[in-house]
Amino acid sequence: MLPSELLANARKRLFDTIGKDTKKYWTDYELLVEYGNLALDKMFLGVKRLIIDSSTASDLQSKPLCSLPLVVGTAAYAISPKIIEIAAATVTEITDPVLLTTRVAVMKTMTVAGMDAEYCDWRNNATGWPSCIITDLNTDSVTIWPTPVAYETPPPATLTPTVSFTVHRLPLRRLSLLSTGVADDSVTFGCREEYQEYLVYGILAEAFMKDDGEVKRLDLAGINEKKFDAKIESIRDDLSCRLRVNRGVRTKLAYR
């Protein structure tokens, strides 16, 4: 679905058609940019796994997304706010600094509580080759433990590790209008098309909340919000079903 199609669908559901003698109760900016992005965020944050990415190095602001070069002596790193959660992490280990051979090792994705339970002295500034990534110590950042060190190699180079992520993330670009005032159809949602159609319920829920006596309908806002919540739940169920099918688990859901 294109953003312009989502906008047209929302107007159709709102009976807010555009013509020479027709008043627009909602602007394109309100419906697509304001309400559309709110609905998009709610759906992606509610489901989490709509986009699984392990190849995009950074976001549009050059903040690390799936590739994080480490710095010697630095434990905390800002990462992209587009990341909803880190599903997995690996680190490139240097196995021989002379021959420059490497291997990829799995890192533990940890919370502060998990670190306290498993590594009681982890706060004592341990240094070494990173083995854990702590996701909830600071907002929009991760903490690498132990704090990275470098391997000395024949001059003039030193080698430091790189961490690679598999993440669940938001779309990289927001819904927007072009300078001409029309929907920017180069923006993609990044999820299955049948899920994209559900966004209209989120837009309608916000549209009927507009503080305007001609259009404000709290009853219709509530109805559409419930429909949108139900659709988000159905997406979670559908993704769980697909995951079971992909793993070859024979369940009733797999044949639904």
| Digitized pLDDT (tens) for each residue of the chain, 256 residues in all | 999 999 999 999 998 765 545 668 899 999 999 999 999 999 999 999 999 999 999 999 999 999 999 988 899 999 999 999 999 999 987 777 677 777 889 999 999 999 999 998 898 878 888 899 999 988 889 999 999 876 666 555 566 788 999 999 999 999 999 999 999 999 999 999 999 999 999 999 999 999 988 899 999 999 999 999 999 999 999 988 887 665 554 444 433 3
pLDDT at 250: 46
pLDDT at 126: 85
Both structure tokens of 199 = 């966004």
Q: Residue 119 has what pLDDT?
A: 92
CA proximity to 87, closest of 54, 44, 60: 54
Task: Report the pLDDT value the prediction gives residue 161, as an integer from 0 to 100.
Answer: 80
* Residues contacting 71, CB < 8 A, separation 6+: 148, 160
What is the reported pLDDT for 151?
Answer: 64
